[in-house]
Structure 1
């Protein structure tokens, strides 16, 4: 059976029907075309100048949102192929998963969430759906409205990490880097994007994510748990040979694994330390030391994906794990080990005093930028947002346009626009 066979006409349907092109060489299948559209999207290019953990301008080595997305895509594609689901769909979802992130990453998301409560809130995954189906320019419907990249139903479903609206979201848990309770709830669609969301989820009941979305989500967890630690080591912020166990476990529980006792966390760390590539000496910046870190990251990715592959294939009984026919199986031990690595990065990098102070300044900048744009109005918007402003029927709709504008900016362009508007100038004046 071809891997394309389980994906029927409904899975390949687009919001606006597209007749076959007369000349297209080489011929591409529907999901290959989806991947190409995401790769070539302007929102993908902007990820190169958006924060992953530390700002992209701080160091030549650290990852930005684009390099992170490429790494997630590689993990997702390999895992999808290994378990028998569609690699193009999983890879495209991974490439798209962070498109909705605003400047300054999750910190900017936190700021925008607090500034948009009266117009439907803000969440990076809901913004991704909005970009793919509205804000990115490629296709228009018969009424002259943008339908974004006009991706297939199966691909959009795979990009939906949280298939529910804000009103259906559960409360946030855990803390931010500064110790304050988390405030951003997780959801995948704004109210005014509900029609396209309902089209994507046609025939699907409840909150169940498709298998390809689960692959994307797991690949994201694997990539940033491993690579954020790598970035922290090379930046000199953490040393895997010298971990403060008591403080570290407090962070792990606060951020990721509430309720786990010290024994369970100790056991997971001991299993990681038993790996042959786990460092026995401190990183010193040498070529040999860099190679050792790379070997560790490779082994960790293989360790996590291998355990998930085995558990998933054992649970499917030979049936192709595609769309809503199966679920990804993540063994508890793997989940805890990933959580430990994420906690190491959170404790030594994200909670560092200089990072907390910088993040506060970033949130203030975002808040001031939103209010300056709001006060200046339509003439301060990029041309692509002018029609949205003019079509908005009320202040809530216009506020959403301002939020869309700010979310589209990179770290550097947000700073530049904030400065320009603060001086009474238009950004391009």
Structure 2
């Protein structure tokens, strides 16, 4: 590894001391704990863009997280960084998402506004530091400092932490005002690469738009021209779409590597401390690729995320999440016994406890709970 990579042997440790493993270093253990935790398994039934009942071929939070981890690990290897820490940050980055994607998050944020609000990044940290209860000696997963730092700051320094992140920071200070190590920065860039390209793939599969529509984006048009020139005998466009996605991901990764290497060389860090002190991200796209990625995001926002077939599920999703919060907040006796047993007596902790319960739900479990507690579901088909 490069001298500016994060060395597990030099980790700042865990909040609760544990004996070292004979077979795995600190970050390998973190990755394994994430993969084995309940919150990670629940990602298989949490919406990425399409609500789970809309089709078995579309991505969900779990498959997205695995795709992010694959891209992130490849980039980390090419840059000489710690692959295991990078993978741990990538696998865990979406653990805090509530059911029904951004619609569910908007509804939960609005419901919890009087109690400090809700943020899925902070909720991820809350899950790994407190809510997972798989070990008898402590709450949370007791991950290494560097892994928790990466989850808290993978989008950069946090200057105004929410209550959940402040709580975690108080218990185990995370230096929130500084940039994270390069491994977390790589995980964040891989997230962008994965969801831009795979959402494009899902949108084409769903018929929300066509290749003729999306080639209005110059970057996509250039990649499509390269693909069709490479396979002139393939007439079926659907056979070329996966190759288009590969072409786009490859170009983005190549640009990310070239730009990041140049930024690293300009700063010449000799340690992770130098990376944190750089004052800006060292992992990122060139200006040209950033503009191309921005244009693709704009297309997806206008032609996919707000498409009538996607938008028609937004109001029902908001109604379900808001309805569940209101019902459990008004009458906590409706909570499952384990959640009743640990219900705090005072606000805002009491409402935050209800928020934790709802945020952990899968789409399908939220639908079942709504039917149990409130009545017929507003979700089409349920």
The alignment's TM-score, normalised by the length of structure 1, stands at 0.77
Matching residue of 2:349? 397
Does 2:201 correspond to 1:226? no
Q: Aligned equivalents of 1:222 and 1:102: distance in 2? A: 22
User: Tell me, which stretches of 5 or more residues in structure 2 are unaligned?
Assistant: 377-382
Residue pair 1:125, 1:188 contacting (<8 A) in 2 also: no
1:72 partnered with 2:26 = no
What is the aligned partner in structure 2 of residue 149 from structure 1? 141
State the Cα RMSD in Å. 2.8
Structure-1 separation of matches of 2:211 and 2:237: 13
Cα distance in 2 between the residues matched to 1:86 and 1:12: 15
Distance in 2, matches of 1:113 and 1:364, equals 13
Q: Paired residue for 1:240?
A: 211
Give the CA deviation at 1:357: 2.6
Q: Structure 1: which 5+ residue stretches go unaligned?
A: 170-186, 246-268, 425-429
CA-CA distance at 1:12 after TM superposition: 4.8
Query: Deviations for 1:136-184, whole angstroms, at most 9, x for unmatched residues?
Result: 113455xxxx43011101111111235666x826xxxxxxxxxxxxxxx
> Structure 1 residue 236: deviation in Å?
0.9
Q: Deviations over 1:266-297 (max 9, x none)?
A: xxx3344223556769xxxx995443111111
Give the 5 Å matches for 1:95-106. Answer: 95-106=91-102
Note the C-alpha offset of 1:380.
1.6
Deviations 1:176-215 (A, max 9, x none): xxxxxxxxxxx6944433313xx242xx472423322211
1:128 pairs with 2:116? no
Match of 1:273 among 215, 221, 226: 221
State the distance in 2 between where 1:291 and 1:366 align: 39
1:235 Cα deviation after fit: 0.9
Choose which of 157, 160, 175 in structure 2 pairs with 1:168. 160
In structure 2, how many angstroms separate the alpha carbons of the residues matched to 1:188 and 1:80? 32
CA distance in 1, matches of 2:147, 2:165: 19
Partner of 2:300: 345
1:407 is aligned to 359
Contact 1:277 1:292 in 2 (8 A): no
2:260 aligns with one of 304, 308, 312: 312
Once the two structures are superposed, residues 201-254 of structure 1 have per-residue CA deviations (whole angstroms, 9 ceiling, x without a partner) of 2xx472423322211111111001000000001111111223596xxxxxxxxx
Cα drift, residue 80 of structure 1: 1.0
Alignment-derived partner of residue 173 in structure 1: none
Name the CA shift for 1:239/1:205 in 2 (closer, same or farther; >3 Å).
Answer: closer
Aligned to 1:195: 170
Kept after mapping to 1: 8 A contact 2:215/2:224: no
Q: Secondary structure, in 3 states, of the residue corresponding to 1:114?
A: helix
Q: TM-score scaled by structure 2?
A: 0.86
1:365 matched to 2:340? The reply is no
Q: Closer, same or farther in 2 for the Cα pair 1:292/1:316, shift >3 Å?
A: same
Matches of 1:375 and 1:6, distance apart in 2:
47
- Deviation track 1:275-332 (CA, whole Å, cap 9, x = no partner) reads 3556769xxxx99544311111111111111111111112223656857526213211
Aligned to 1:264: none
Alignment CA distance shift 1:14-1:124 (3 Å): same
Contact 1:62-1:231 at 8 Å conserved across structures: yes
**Aligned positions of 1:372-391 closer than 5 A:** 372-381=327-336, 383=338, 385-389=339-343
Q: Secondary structure at the match of 1:275?
A: helix
How far is the alpha carbon of 1:39 from its aligned partner? 0.6
SS of aligned partner of 1:329: coil
- Deviation digits for residues 333-358 of structure 1 (CA, Å, limit 9, x no counterpart): 11111122222222222111232231
Distance 1:301 1:357 in 2: 30
Partner of 1:299: 247
Tell me, in whole angstroms, the C-alpha distance in 2 between the residues paired with 1:394 and 1:3: 49
Q: What is the aligned partner in structure 1 of residue 379 from structure 2?
A: none
From the two aligned structures, give the one with the greater helix fraction: 2
CA distance in 2, matches of 1:225, 1:240: 15
